Amino acid sequence: MKESPLFWPAYFKKDILFVLDETLIPEKLKYIEVKTPAQAVKVIKDMKTRAFGQFLVVLSTFLIVLKDKKIKTDKVLLKKLLSAAEALNKSRPTFPFSEVTGMVLGWAQKAQKGNLDLRVYLNRNIEGFLLGIRGRRLERVEKLADTIKKYKNILTHCNVSGELAMAAQICKAQGKDIGFFATETRPYFQGSRLTAWELKKAGVSVTLVADNAVATLLRDKMVDAVVVGSDRSCANGDFANKIGTLQIAIAADEFDVPFYVLTQPSNKVKQGKDIPIEIRDENEILKVKGKRFVPKGVKGFYPGFDVIPHKFITKAIAINVN
Amino acid sequence: MLIKKKNSVILLNGVFKDSFFEILRKRKVKKVFILEGRPYLDGAKEMCAKLLKHKITPILIADNMAGFLFYKDLVKEVWVSYQETSKKNVLCKIGSLILGVMAKRHKVSLRVFPSGKRKKYIANPKEIFSFDGKRIAAKGIDGFVPLLEDVPRKYIKEIYS
């Protein structure tokens, strides 16, 4: 199985973090050099990376601080870690970055209490955690392949960070050719640019549709299942995902098409309505590639995410948290 | 611009015949949500220009954002453009079926009004590979671009002619 670049879109080389600029795909496969926590926050805010890539960048930001040789004392190191955590937590309100940053700060406290070497302890924990996540995501790819192999045509929305393309490859290797329909996913076109690109690269059939065409696909049974990712999960099973997911879930329910979601279980938020939804700049709707395409006087409204009640989920394909 | 629940407004999909604006005028409508209308962006361009001419502020949303508006109870009524009617269905602008489903579930009325121009059923797949003339999609993929869809009458409150 060939790994999609979107599966693990950041890596370290000579103490510099390289983050895949997902906004340039499919034209270019280019990585942004990130040397400071401020730069890390900027790639997140500017949506240069998204979904799993953001969590990878959040954790890697602490590694950037730990690699900073100018920091000589544990006191200053802790201050820098705390400051990085605060900036990351504020970067995108819908994402539960505080769950990740809180975990790292908890490790730092533990190291201090236990009189352990702070840098060594944190490095080991973060790198170990990332390795564990990687393994569990690969397991989830296998679970996803098991789930989708019985379907002929699948609708997906936005992008699930490499996992769908990898699951499709597994199915293909087993002689099960699945066709995919990808929504274009306005306003950032993650479906047109990322999902279509990685599915095509994986050697599977992909058809692009506008976001407004999904009900026809579902009603006319042109697709027999829906698979989406999730950006945040709640204790009751509700989840948040890219804007557009809710209306797909409702249409799937209306027309009796199974709806699957890849999740990262969490109990920190009780229910979907407690998730804060990020409202982004209206210019992101009114402009494309920096150029306004609507008449002067038109306003825009851009909620970044939908909250999807758990009643619409046929099955959550969860990452193993144990 | 976040609209408060008490100020929920009309949601539009399509380009309507000019007589539609008389209805909005009589209702003293000052602002509406409007779907951009992929692939040709006729909502974002043509319909928005008409609304502005009639001194109504269009608030543009992408075609995938209506679900959020319903979830937040920001929609008080939905109007979509249609091309033809049959005994069971009304042939409407693509995107209208999902609006009908959501409107019904949220007990919001969906009304249909004649379209300002006739459309073919389906567009060339290449129309979905670009946005406002700029290529946005990966190469070597297929596209499916319906421009109209049947909306069963059970989702429709009123048909204007």
Q: Name the residue of chain A whose CA is nearest to B130's CA.
A: A192
Q: Please, where are the H alpha helices in chain A?
A: 37-45, 52-67, 74-91, 97-113, 118-148, 163-173, 190, 196-201, 214-219, 245-254, 283-286
For residues B52-70, give the mean pLDDT: 98
What is the distance in angstroms between the Cα of B23 and the nearest Cα belonging to chain A?
21
Helix A74-91 vs helix A37-45: angle between axes, to the nearest 10 degrees?
Answer: 10
Residues A65 and A194 in one domain: no
Specify if A24 maps to a domain: yes
Question: pLDDT tens, A236-284?
Answer: 999 999 999 999 999 999 999 999 999 999 888 999 999 999 999 999 9
In A, which residues are within 8 Å of B36 by CB distance? Answer: 186, 285
pLDDT at B4: 46
**Where among A120, A135, A150 does a domain terminate?**
A135
**Which residues does A237 contact at the CB level (< 8 Å), separation at least 6?**
A310, A313, A316
DSSP 8-state class, residue B16:
B
Specify if A4 maps to a domain: no
Could you tell me the pTM of the whole model?
Answer: 0.93
For residues A50-67, give the mean pLDDT: 95
Nearest by CB: A300 against B38, B59, B149: B59
Res A56 pLDDT > 90: yes
CATH assignment at residue B147? 3.40.50.10470
Res A320 pLDDT > 90: no
Q: Name the residue of chain A whose CA is nearest to B146's CA.
A: A213
Question: pLDDT tens, A186-228?
Answer: 999 999 999 999 999 999 999 999 999 999 999 999 999 999 9
- The DSSP result for B54-85, as a single string, is TT-EEEEE-TT-HHHHHHTT-EEEEEEEEEEE
Band of residue B1 on the pLDDT scale cut at 50, 70, 90: very low
Residues A122 and A155 in one domain: no
**Where among A117, A135, A153 does a domain terminate?**
A135
Specify if A19 maps to a domain: yes
For residues A62-66, give the mean pLDDT: 97
pLDDT at B5: 54
Q: Give the structural domain span for A112.
A: 10-135
Residues A176 and A128 in one domain: no
CB contact under 8 A, B142 and A210: no
Res A322 pLDDT > 70: no
For residues B101-116, give the mean pLDDT: 97
Specify if A311 maps to a domain: yes
CB pairs A-B closer than 8 Å: 186
Residues A146 and A191 in one domain: yes
Residues A77 and A143 in one domain: no
Residue B61 token pair: 């949303």
In A, which residues are within 8 Å of B103 by CB distance? Answer: none
CATH assignment at residue A287? 3.40.50.10470
CA distance A261 to A274: 20
Q: Give the structural domain span for B53.
A: 5-159
Catalytic residue among A211, A231, A274, A281: A231
Nearest by CB: B44 against A183, A248, A293: A293
Bridging pattern class, strands B31-35 and B57-61: parallel
Question: How many domains does chain B fold into?
Answer: 1
Residues A159 and A293 in one domain: yes
**Where among A135, A151, A177 does a domain terminate?**
A135
Specify if A49 maps to a domain: yes
Residues A153 and A250 in one domain: yes
For residues B151-155, give the mean pLDDT: 98
CB contact under 8 A, B97 and A247: no
Specify if A1 maps to a domain: no
For residues A77-84, give the mean pLDDT: 97
CA distance A272 to A285: 25
Buried (b) or exposed (e) across A284-314, using 16+ Cβ within 10 A?
bbbbbeeeebbbeebbbbbbbbbbbbeebbe
AA identity, residue A214: V
Residues A203 and A309 in one domain: yes
Residues A206 and A83 in one domain: no
Band of residue B2 on the pLDDT scale cut at 50, 70, 90: very low
pLDDT at A94: 81
Q: Which ipTM score applies to this complex?
A: 0.96
CA distance B81 to B46: 13
Specify if A225 maps to a domain: yes
In B, which residues are within 8 Å of A293 by CB distance? Answer: 41, 44-45, 132
pLDDT at B6: 62
Q: Name the residue of chain B whose CA is nearest to A291's CA.
A: B132
Question: pLDDT tens, A7-30?
Answer: 999 999 989 999 999 999 999 999
Mean pLDDT, chain A, whole residue set: 96
Question: How many domains does chain A fold into?
Answer: 2
Question: pLDDT tens, A123-169?
Answer: 999 999 999 999 999 999 999 999 999 999 999 999 999 999 999 99
Band of residue B7 on the pLDDT scale cut at 50, 70, 90: low
